[in-house]
Amino acid sequence: MQECHACLYMGHMSEDRTKERVASTPWWPQWEQELSEYINTCERCQKANRKHGKKYGLLQHIEEPKHPWETINMDWVTGLVSGGKENFNACLIILKRSECQVESMKR
């Protein structure tokens, strides 16, 4: 199992890819269950695939705004290559529920 999961030239593969490699070699009863346990307890994989932060919550319904521009979302995209007549290098993105508008601005 170790050779199929953690070989030097392919790295630590996913469970599906490791199963493909193990399936082509001699097998034993309950090999799939043992392989899953081996991969789920692989120290290197656990460190590399560690979950960070809180678990995601359930999706929440968002009420539709009753008036235009009642709720907006804004985000800057910066670090763009300067270009155009005005030499813009950033983009302010403004979103409302029913429409989308993009404004370019110097920063």
**Tens of pLDDT along 46-72?**
777 766 667 777 888 877 778 877 888
Helix, strand, coil shares, percent, the chain, to 5: 25, 25, 50
**Tens of pLDDT along 14-26?**
778 878 877 777 6
Packing angle of the helix pair 15-23, 31-40 (nearest 10 deg): 140
Query: What does the block give as tokens for 78?
Result: 């910066």
